[in-house]
Amino acid sequence: MGYSSVQAQGLSSPPYLCSYFVCLLMSFLSDRFGNRSYLLSALALVGAVGYLVQALIHMNGVRYFATYLICAGVFSAVALTFTWVTDNQGSASKRGAGLIIFGMIGQTGSIAGSRFFPKEEGPYYTKGMAISAA
């Protein structure tokens, strides 16, 4: 996309920083209201909108904004989901097993990602972004 490696690294940091603060806020709110499902649904929707924007629009500024949406939505949703999994298990051994199973399911994303984002479709990866939005 025309950026040097230093510029690309510099541009990748702010979405992660934004995600950090959104994650803290959503964690606080989910504990405060005692409900994770509504926030989790909203965060998943934010991430899906970000992926949809990435799939449909090929203007760098808009895609960069969509990266903020993706990071804030997806990373915060993952953090809340880990907490939700542990909250819904009875004993310590069930919590441990639940986390292991959840982690194993989460690792299938890297296998799927290698199929959804082939190198030939770069730099926009429209198909992979659309699949991720679904």
- Give me the pLDDT at residue 30, please: 93
- Taking the whole predicted model, whether its pTM rises above 0.85 is answered as yes
User: Domain locations in the chain?
Assistant: 5-133
70, 84 in Cβ contact below 8 A?
no
pLDDT at 40: 94
Average pLDDT over all residues of the chain: 91
**What is the arithmetic mean of pLDDT over 59-82?**
94
Residue 1 pLDDT grade (very low, low, confident, very high; cuts 50, 70, 90): low
With 90 as the cut, is the pLDDT of residue 38 above it?
A: yes
The stretch 119-131 carries a mean pLDDT of: 88
